[in-house]
Amino acid sequence: MPSFGKHERDCYIRIPILCFTISFRIKLLLIVCFFPNIHYLNVVVPLANGQNGILPPSPRAMYTILVNRHIVDNGFLNGINNMAELETCIYDLIDHYQENDDLEQIFHLIQIWGGNTGRGIYIRQHFAWQEIEPIYRHFIDVIRSFETIDDDTLNNAFVAQNVFYNSLRENHYRGMGVAFITKHLRFWMHRNLPNSMLPIYDSTFSENVMLRGQTANKRDLLPFWQAMIAKAEEEHVSLTALERQLFNFFNN
């Protein structure tokens, strides 16, 4: 039986999910996930402490890394003072993005928003945006095409993040896994599906919902998305609202 840490075991309910995963063949699995027994709200609440007057330490540390490595300049954040302002800035850039616009600013802003656990892509090898750009553009073009949440969208999103990951590695880039790839995936869904952005799969959800420990593994991504969609439907809340409320709850 898994350990629940600071959250009491009776705060959780089991939700069996029949789901399909892709590994050369289709397999039917019974997935058991855990969700807190709380009052779910159909509203996207701010990140915990996201409206304070300064960025939290982790995003500030990521920004410092980028400045020190001369990837961005000192004025890159342009007066952004907290997570709510950073999130709004990213959404605005994505919602007004036109095909073939520059993507580098958005890429770095999402990385800063995610915090310094995503520093690997910058520090494990020499970072050259011109090498990342075509891989990233192909990835976001797929994500921007989604207009509904259905089985095809889930499968295509899963394949897209896998292709992005493998393409980075083929170009000798390490240090970007499912946790940060799904951060980008989530943000790029905002224009077409602001209430149904597929959730980020990071250590918070790996440990507390999927009970897989603190390291998020892409093999659990598709079942995680399916579990979150089922829970959102059960609670009559949007997928976006559910993700944010759960993230704040588990990090409280």
User: From CA 238, how far away is CA 53, in angstroms rounded?
Assistant: 28
Q: For residue 52, name the pLDDT band (cuts at 50, 70, 90).
A: confident
The stretch 120-137 carries a mean pLDDT of 97
Q: Which two tokens stand for residue 84?
A: 């709510």
- Name the average pLDDT for the chain: 90
Helix (H) or strand (E) holding 137: helix 129-144
% pLDDT > 70, the chain: 88
**What is the predicted pLDDT for the residue at 23?**
45
DSSP conformation class of 45: P
**What is the predicted pLDDT for the residue at 1?**
35
State yes or no: pLDDT of 4 exceeds 50. Answer: no
The helix, strand and coil proportions of the chain, stated in percent and rounded to the nearest 5, come to: 50, 10, 40
The stretch 14-36 carries a mean pLDDT of 59
- Residue 20 sits at φ, ψ, to 5 deg, of -105, 135
% pLDDT > 90, the chain: 81
Angle between helices 178-188 and 129-144 (to 10 degrees): 60
Q: For residue 48, name the pLDDT band (cuts at 50, 70, 90).
A: confident
> pTM for the full model?
0.90
